[in-house]
Amino acid sequence: MNYSTSPLLASKTPPWRSRFLVGLVGLAFAGLLGRAIYVQVLHTEFFQKQGEARYAHTLELPASRGRINDRSGQVLAASVAVPSIWAIPKEVDADEGKRRELAKVLGITPRELQAKLNPEARFVWLKRLADDETAAKVKAIGLKGIFQDREYRRKYPEGEAAAHVVGFTNVEDKGQEGIELAFQKELQGRDGSRSVVRDRLGRVVEDIGDIVPASNGADIDLAVDSKVQFFAYQRIRDAVAANKAKAGSVVVLDVQTGEVLALANFPSYDPGNRQNLTGDQLRNRALTDVFEPGSTMKPFIAGLAMETGRVTSRTLVDTGNGRYPFQGAVISDTKPHGLITVHEVIQMSSNIGTTKLAMQMPAREMHEMFTAIGLGQRPQISFPGAVSGKLRPYKTWRPIEQATMSYGYGLSASLFQLARAYTVFARDGEIIPVSMLRQPREHPVPGIRVFSPEVTRELRSMLQDAAGPGGTARLAQVPGYSVGGKSGTAHKQEGRGYVNKYRSWFVGLAPINKPRIVVAVMVDEPTAGVYYGGAVAGPVFSQVTAQTLRLLGVQPDLDVKSQIVANQKAVPVEESF
């Protein structure tokens, strides 16, 4: 081919065209150079982070939450590893059949699954803390873009019996109630981390950097005895059912150490399955519900009157015909008692007798004694929700109010506060601190003196007779063991007045000469025809006390046969309230 004859090749090219092309190439290289400087020099850190974000991931290594144990090491709450299912929405297979199958396994509708798999989301949980069966079914479906990790889930072996003690955690393993909440910081531990490279399918390719190991949470050893706790729960549950009541509570204290051996409430709930929970189930009534303590206050008034030398246990008190006009009101007993001793005032639970003892002393002295036994103050225990109750300043008391407070009206306390107050009678006049945690003590804890040992021993004798064959709580007797205590029955207050609804309770100690435990029982709104504390709460006290003393290895101090004979000969006394 003759190139010289070709018109195209023979034409002359203007010089500016070649220079223009060279300039364009130069500008392109200059742009590339500028971009390289921008990426690799000026903004290196930013682009490195963007790159790492696409292949490098930091995996959380969750710490195992500490266990909650009872006093003997029995596990009340522990964490176990369970599968959690998640997805990268953009990578999830679009197969509609598999998606419907996945939704069915997860227990949600296909529409709900579609909403979760929002393509704009980079990560989404499909089901956290699932069971192994669900995880296996999800894996068998084989849907691309669906992954599984292991998280910790709390297990509560004692179930509803210990629910109000241990509480529960949320899906993030954070304490929400009970000991789980009170000791959240100690139980939670510290999570670790692991930096890895993942491929586009989410699989870990290699580790990068150092692994920071997780630090597991500390175990919490409670003072609670799981056997006593379970038995107390059963008894209060049965009592609520038998009396067609609204609710009930039991508190058991070891008076040597101040340890809480049991704290049971009914209604309750399963901490491991909290679907359809109600406020009534969640309420820790022994600590959060306050009520007018009624006749359980009478022994304290008698004790104060004897401690200050105003009376002795043998001083006579005229209770008259059972009706005592006072300050425009009428204070009454269930029946006339006439002239009785201070000892019999407590044994027969006389409102009139207690009033006459109280009105011998200044309001200030009564207030100081009530304060000394913990009324009007929040219990100092490591537990959420404990309330202080109500105790007004003594300067505001009118005479009629001082009178009614002497037999437990016009002030309020929780069942837990009453149980602690009765440690005064068990510890020769000292009130002791109480604890939900196991105490490493072999000897009795020191307390704060309220009454002298001599007065306290006389008060224990009164309490023994009050719970004895001739008292108001014969059903509180425990075969083989001497007991003492005081029943109480109070009208419930609604609005500004009282209604024909009752709270019934009994607080007592055993054995009477060398007490080891205090047991307090409350039944709310019994409606089966019987509502006196001795008849409703007394039997629960008897059963729980007997079981607890046996578990603690306390030797019986009474002959059962003579105890039965004495009960058969006795004439029961109705309590005043």
Supply the residues annotated as catalytic: 295
Distance of alpha carbon 217 from alpha carbon 165, whole angstroms: 19
Distance of alpha carbon 517 from alpha carbon 253, whole angstroms: 5
How many C-beta atoms surround the C-beta of residue 342 within 10 A?
A: 26
Classified as helix, coil or strand, 392 is coil
Distance of alpha carbon 348 from alpha carbon 335, whole angstroms: 10
Nearest Cα neighbor of 143 from 74, 93, 69, 198 is 93
How many C-beta atoms surround the C-beta of residue 482 within 10 A?
A: 21
Beta-carbon-side half-sphere exposure of residue 286 (alpha carbons within 13 Å): 29
Q: How far is CA 505 from the centre of its chain?
A: 21
Nearest Cα neighbor of 225 from 196, 186, 251 is 251
Place of tokens 């009765």: 422
Would residue 429 be called left, alpha or beta, if left means φ above 0 and alpha means ψ between -120 and 50 degrees? Answer: left
Distance of alpha carbon 575 from alpha carbon 298, whole angstroms: 12
Nearest Cα neighbor of 213 from 195, 188, 189, 192 is 192
Count, residues in the chain:
577
Strands 247-254 and 75-87, by their bridges, are unpaired
Inter-residue contact 522 to 415 (CB < 8 Å):
yes
Distance of alpha carbon 339 from alpha carbon 372, whole angstroms: 31
- 3-state DSSP of 304-358: HHHHCCCCCCCCEEECCCCEEEECCEEEECCCCCCEEEHHHHHHCCCHHHHHHHH
Long-range Cβ contact pairs of 326-329 (< 8 A, separation 24 or more): 326/355, 326/399, 326/400, 326/403, 327/398, 327/399, 327/400, 327/403, 328/400, 329/400
DSSP 149: E
Q: Is 223 exposed, middle or buried (0-12, 13-18, 19+ CB in 10 A)?
A: buried
Inter-residue contact 455 to 369 (CB < 8 Å):
no
CA dihedral over 158, 159, 162, 163, signed as positive or negative: positive
Place of tokens 């300067």: 395
Nearest Cα neighbor of 524 from 178, 285, 264, 263 is 285
